[in-house]
Structure 1
Amino acid sequence: MTSTTLDYHHDSISLRVIDAIANATNTDPHELDPLYYVVDPEALDQLFQSDTSTSVRVEFEYDGRLVEVRSDGTVAVDGTVHGRA
């Protein structure tokens, strides 16, 4: 299990979510249904954009899988943390 810290100035949390879902499903990210079918990617990015001490957690379902995004930059799909190697 790997985890990385989100660089709020260079990383897009919505892109990290897509990568995590692709990793969890063994699917090329370009073959996934658009994230905006289930959550607004821009709103998600804005919510996690500011580097505050406020704890934020968002959960939503994507193609039958539970996706959780935490304020520390952790992205979990069905309880498994996914990050860049």
Structure 2
Amino acid sequence: MCPSSPTSSNNALSTAVIEAIAKEMDVDPTKLPEQLYDVIDPDSLDSLFTSGNPTDGTVTFAYCGYTVTITADSDVTLEE
């Protein structure tokens, strides 16, 4: 597993996922082989753990050959 650092309040979860995958693949985020919106709705992902929503839980999905897990703490973990 490859954990990334928690996202800041200014950094959307969708952006954190793209950056984590790009870093792991050692490519520019614009050069990823798959678009995030083809896998999951980025707007829904960004609002998933915002105030008013549950403060615990996880979401897991496949993206660019990795299993991406995001926690309510905004931790992004990649697993091949």
State if a TM-score over 0.5 links the two structures.
yes
- Equivalence for 1:29: 29
Over the matched positions of the two proteins, sequence identity in percent amounts to: 36
Q: 1:9-53: per-residue Cα shift (whole Å, max 9, x none)?
A: x11110000000101111110011210010100000010222766
Inter-partner Cα distance in structure 2 for 1:75 and 1:61: 13
What TM-score comes out, normalization by structure 2 length?
0.81
Inter-partner Cα distance in structure 1 for 2:53 and 2:36: 25
Alpha-carbon contact 1:13-1:48 (below 8 Å) kept: no
Alpha-carbon contact 1:5-1:73 (below 8 Å) kept: yes
Is 1:11 equivalent to 2:2 in the alignment?
no
Alignment of 1:1-85 (within 5 A): 3-8=4-9, 10-32=10-32, 33-50=34-51, 54-78=55-79
**Where does the alignment leave 5 or more consecutive residues of structure 1 unmatched?**
80-85
**Superposition RMSD in Å:** 2.2
Corresponding residue pairs, total: 78
Inter-partner Cα distance in structure 2 for 1:76 and 1:42: 19
**Where does the alignment leave 5 or more consecutive residues of structure 2 unmatched?**
none
